[in-house]
């Protein structure tokens, strides 16, 4: 299998995630898009690791997954707190942090 395919898929996933973060207003969807971006990166790591027969990339993937899990937990907690307070998960409503 050629690495290019994996990289193309990963780029596609990353773009979808990135656009999702930028255009969606639902906080949960944004969180999911972030996961998508992280996993795209994971895929890239794995592809290159396989290509170069190095373990470093594989190890990195595990690190990223750990961080992603932690991030998802914290992010969901924030969203729940936000929802309890404002009865919405629309992040455009959470715009208090400005002048």
Give the interface with another protein as residue ranges (CB under 8 A).
18, 21-23, 25, 30, 91-92, 94-99
Question: By C-beta, is 50 or 83 nearer to another protein?
Answer: 83
Question: By C-beta, is 55 or 85 nearer to another protein?
Answer: 85
CB of 59 to another protein, least distance (A): 24
CB of 45 to another protein, least distance (A): 17
| 3 exposure class (CB count in 10 Å sphere: 0-12, 13-18, 19+) | middle
Q: What is the per-residue DSSP string for 8-70?
A: HHHHHHHHHHHHHHHH--BHHHHHHHHHHHHHHHHHHHHHHHHHHT-SHHHHHHHHHHHHHHH
Question: By C-beta, is 28 or 59 nearer to another protein?
Answer: 28
CB of 81 to another protein, least distance (A): 15
């Amino acid at each position: 299998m050629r690495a290019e395919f994996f990289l193309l898929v990963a780029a596609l996933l990353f773009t979808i995630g990135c656009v999702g973060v930028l255009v969606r207003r639902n906080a949960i969807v944004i969180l999911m898009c972030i996961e998508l971006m992280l996993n795209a990166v994971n895929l890239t790591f794995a592809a290159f690791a396989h290509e170069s027969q190095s373990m470093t990339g594989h190890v990195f993937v595990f690190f990223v997954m750990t961080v992603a899990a932690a991030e998802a937990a914290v992010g969901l907690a924030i969203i729940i707190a936000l929802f309890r307070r404002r009865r919405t998960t629309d992040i455009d409503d959470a715009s208090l942090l400005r002048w």
